[in-house]
Structure 1
Amino acid sequence: MADHTPRIRVPKKAAKGDVVEIKTLISHQMESGQRKDKQGQVIPREIINKFTCAMNGETVFSADLEPAISANPYLSFYVKVEGPADLKFTWVDDNGSVYEADAKIAVA
């Protein structure tokens, strides 16, 4: 079975009101469903189709991903930090598998 380990890069500290960059990458084959295997059979589609990031329980970023996204999708986005932040990242793929990661940002 493939390793679908999410990797995230979040600053450990920020000042109140700072806009910080969040970077995420997840290992996933992102099979589009348009390729064929060596026997000529179509390889079934299996992509991560939804990504969300919640900060302190409120969604601050979400994306719907399509088959044209490359393997191991990388996403980068910015959020404004108003206080200590608990971040929850969620990726969902076509077969219903859910991959999650958490991070914290302290406010200095």
Structure 2
Amino acid sequence: MANPMKIRAANKDGVTEVKVLISHEMETGQRKDANGAIIPAWFITELTAKHGDKVVLQGEFGTAVSKNPYLAFKFKGGAKGEKVAVSWKDNKGDSRTDEATIA
């Protein structure tokens, strides 16, 4: 399983801002290693962010997203002490979910 995501969430004036740093290699399948062999594709395909049971962000990623992607977004609602969870799945079937408490 991949390393944990770094997630920060803060609420100001009824709007929660979330910043996420995802640890993932994001290989396109087009690079070659030192021996000339193609490095297999390995990238995030789906990402979902939830506040409680409500989906606040859902997206599809692909090979054009850089290694260790950074994502920032805002949503209306959320209060200090509540949780925001971010989940991803990749093309190899790996997945990860991490959460942060809104400050």
Counterpart position of 2:3: 4
> Could you tell me how far 1:54 is from its partner in structure 2?
0.9
> Could you tell me how far 1:36 is from its partner in structure 2?
1.0
Q: Kindly tell me: are residues 3 and 54 of structure 1, through their superposed partners in 2, closer, same or farther at Cα, counting changes over 3 Å? A: closer
TM-score normalised by structure 1 residue count: 0.82
* Correspondent of 2:67 among 71, 84, 92: 71
* Deviation sequence 1:30-81 (CA, Å, 0-9, x none): 0010111122211100011111101111111011111011100011100111
* Count, aligned residues: 102
Secondary structure in 1 matching 2:64 = coil
Contact 1:21/1:79 (<8 A) preserved = yes
TM-score normalised by structure 2 residue count: 0.86
Runs of 4+ in 1 over 6 A off after TM superposition: none
Indicate the RMSD between aligned Cα atoms, in angstroms: 2.0
In the alignment, structure 1 segments of 5+ residues that lack a partner are none
In the alignment, structure 2 segments of 5+ residues that lack a partner are none
Contact 1:92/1:99 (<8 A) preserved = yes
Q: Which amino acid aligns with 1:99?
A: R
